[in-house]
Amino acid sequence: MSTLKFSRFALGWCLGFVCLAPLHSQTQQRLGLGQNLSTETLKGWDIDIDAYGNGLPAGQGNATQGAVIYAEKCQACHGEKGVGGPANKLAGGAGSLNSTTPLKSIGSFWPYATTLFDYIRRAMPLTAPQSLNADQVYSLSAYLLYLNGIVNTTYTVDAQSLPAIKMPNLQGFKPIVDSLPE
């Protein structure tokens, strides 16, 4: 590799990783470009919920409330009761993972109930992601858990109860770290 080629390669990496931040602030000062991210703007991106439920907002809902929202906003793609629509099946498949026709659904596959809140709030409905409020997302989480036989229709799902739910396939994964909730 010639020296020239090598230094261009090194510059590329440098731009991609290490040098980007200092370059940015220098450019900002020199040319007056860009602006600092405000805490308020950052809040819109900082919406992840971890397996323990850290980050879950205030609010609550149950499956009865969720069923109404589901019929209006989800059923067209996911089908009545979570099956039979053009998009992913959201229920069923219990005990099927070892079979020749495994169905990876929320009930048969997902290890943590808290992922429901994160996923639905972040990505669904597909045509209007992040349009649902916390109560709606809790209610929909409760309804999908109900469809999978994990909670009953009146179980209140909120920031305390959602992380406490033990998903059927929790032990179906080999942890690569020791610190995940059991």
Q: Work out whether 78 is an interface residue with ligand HEC (CB under 6 A).
A: yes
Q: Which is nearer to ligand HEC, 2 or 63 (CB)?
A: 63
Q: How far is the CB of 142 from ligand HEC (least distance, A)?
A: 11
Q: How far is the CB of 11 from ligand HEC (least distance, A)?
A: 36
Rounded Cα–Cα distance for residues 107 and 90 (Å): 8
Rounded Cα–Cα distance for residues 79 and 110 (Å): 19
At a CB cut-off of 8 Å and minimum separation 6, what does 135 contact? 59, 60, 61, 65
Rounded Cα–Cα distance for residues 104 and 51 (Å): 18
Q: Work out whether 97 is an interface residue with ligand HEC (CB under 6 A).
A: no
Lay out the site mask for ligand HEC across 30-69 (x = CB under 6 A, - = otherwise).
----------------------------------------
Q: Which is nearer to ligand HEC, 73 or 163 (CB)?
A: 73
Taking alpha carbons only, the member of 78, 109, 85 closest to residue 95 is 109
Q: Work out whether 126 is an interface residue with ligand HEC (CB under 6 A).
A: yes
Stretch that binds ligand HEC, among 8-16, 47-55, 73-81, 174-182 (CB under 6 A): 73-81
Taking alpha carbons only, the member of 124, 125, 165 closest to residue 145 is 165
Which residue's CB atom is positioned nearest to ligand HEC? 74
Q: Which is nearer to ligand HEC, 23 or 97 (CB)?
A: 97
Tokens read off for 55: 């980050």
Taking alpha carbons only, the member of 73, 76, 109, 77 closest to residue 91 is 109
Q: Work out whether 124 is an interface residue with ligand HEC (CB under 6 A).
A: yes
Q: Are 61 and 141 in contact, with CB atoms under 8 Å apart?
A: yes
List contacts with ligand HEC (CB under 6 A): 73-74, 76-78, 87-88, 90, 105-106, 119-120, 124-127, 140
